[in-house]
């Protein structure tokens, strides 16, 4: 039983099961992926994401604007809150800072946008999904100032260092690992997977991006989140079942608004596991 805690179901490639989302999700369910969090990158996408969630009980959605997107108008705190409430989002984001592409969206614009998302998340008591790249100190500073440690969130598709991960955990956040952990040049991430407490880890695909080994070069899909779990299990010397159960429990611990729609068999398995 696995959860894909971060995927972009509205952006899946036509090369993935012919662009048929129902078939893509069915393939994931056949691989024992029981829940999907479809993450927004633009508030304009919210109606399409909400339609996917209506059609698929095991899909939850977030509301937010990616740090590198350039909308016609910057959303206010109220705009973000309205989108989340109107479309039934279980989280705010993805949001954050990306200094690798700082020429795309100026740093000051990214900061203010990130801050507004953090305030909206705090006011709605919803977890926040963080995109952070080459902006360690600034990301942590804004989390310290504006996030609610009682609600927290997740640093998704994490690629920064262990010190940042530990500080984020101290601030009430989870760390999500993607298919990057399977890449040959990702030894530092595999070490991080060994060092962090398992009860603070999530797994994701970020599909259709970042397909894991042995699927590199192909459009990613939610079924392949299993490869992330397998890599973590191998690195920690534990069973894939243990990784699956704990990261699933972690997901519902963080994204509590997703829990009421959890399929009955997932609830039963979680209860039997003793992890929640």
What is the predicted pLDDT for the residue at 14? 76
Domains and CATH numbers, the chain: 2-273 (3.20.20.140)
In the prediction, which pLDDT does 271 show?
A: 56
Q: Give the chain's residues under pLDDT 70.
A: 260-276
Q: What's the pLDDT at 267?
A: 52
pLDDT at 213: 97
Task: State pLDDT tens for residues 207-228.
Answer: 999 999 999 999 999 999 999 9
- pLDDT of 102: 82
Q: For the whole model, what pTM was predicted?
A: 0.92
Buried b (16+ CB within 10 A) or exposed e, 58-71: bbbbbbbbbbbeee
Other C-beta atoms lying within 10 Å of the C-beta of residue 123: 14
Cis status of the peptide bond prior to 94, with omega within 30 of 0: yes
Q: Put residue 36 in one of left, alpha, beta given phi > 0 → left and psi -120 to 50 → alpha.
A: beta
Tell me the C-alpha distance between 80 and 159, whole Å. 27
- Looking at residue 27, its pLDDT comes to 97
DSSP structure class, residue 58:
T
Amino acid 276: pLDDT: 46
Q: What pLDDT is recorded for position 53?
A: 96
- 87 in Cβ contact with 47 (< 8 Å): yes
Give the DSSP per-residue string, 193-226: HHHS-GGGEEE---TTS-PPTTSTTS---GGGHH
pLDDT of residue 98: 96
* β-bridge mates for residue 63, sequence order: 92
d(CA 218, CA 231): 19
Using CA atoms, how far residue 64 sits from 20, 93, 136, 276, in Å, is 25, 4, 21, 28
Phi, psi angle pair for 264, to nearest 5°: -55, -40
**Alpha carbon distance 225, 139 (integer Å):** 26
Q: What is the DSSP letter of 258?
A: G
State how far the alpha carbon of 92 is from the alpha carbons of 82, 138, 152, 154, 196, in Å: 11, 19, 11, 10, 24
Give the separation between CA 150 and CA 128, rounded to whole angstroms. 12
Structure tokens at 256: 């509590």
Query: How much is the CA Rg of the chain, to the nearest whole Å?
Result: 17
pLDDT in tens, 29-49: 999 999 999 999 999 999 999
């Amino acid at each position: 039983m696995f959860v894909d805690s971060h995927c972009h179901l509205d952006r899946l490639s036509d090369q993935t099961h012919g662009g048929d989302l129902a078939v893509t999700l069915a393939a994931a369910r056949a691989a024992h992926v029981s829940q999907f969090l479809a993450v927004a990158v633009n508030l304009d996408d919210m109606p399409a994401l909400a339609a996917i969630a209506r059609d698929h009980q095991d899909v939850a959605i977030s509301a937010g604007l990616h740090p590198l997107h350039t909308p016609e108008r910057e959303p206010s705190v109220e705009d973000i809150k309205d989108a989340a409430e109107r479309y039934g989002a279980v989280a705010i984001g993805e949001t954050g800072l990306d200094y690798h592409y700082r020429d795309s969206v100026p740093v000051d614009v990214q900061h203010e946008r990130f801050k507004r998302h953090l305030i909206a998340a705090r006011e709605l008591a919803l977890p926040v999904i963080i995109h952070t790249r080459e902006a360690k100190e600034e990301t942590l500073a804004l989390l310290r100032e504006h996030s609610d440690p009682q609600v927290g969130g997740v640093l998704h598709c994490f690629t920064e260092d262990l010190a940042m991960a530990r500080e984020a955990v101290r601030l009430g956040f989870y760390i999500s690992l993607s298919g990057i952990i399977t890449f040959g040049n990702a030894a530092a991430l595999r070490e991080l997977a060994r060092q962090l407490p398992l009860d603070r880890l999530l797994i994701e695909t970020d599909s259709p991006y970042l397909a894991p080994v042995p699927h590199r070069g192909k459009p990613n899909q939610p079924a392949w989140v299993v490869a992330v779990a397998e890599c973590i299990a191998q690195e920690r010397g534990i069973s894939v079942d243990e990784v699956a159960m704990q990261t699933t429990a972690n997901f519902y611990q963080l994204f509590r608004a997703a829990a009421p729609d959890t399929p009955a068999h997932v609830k039963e398995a979680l209860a039997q596991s003793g992890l929640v």
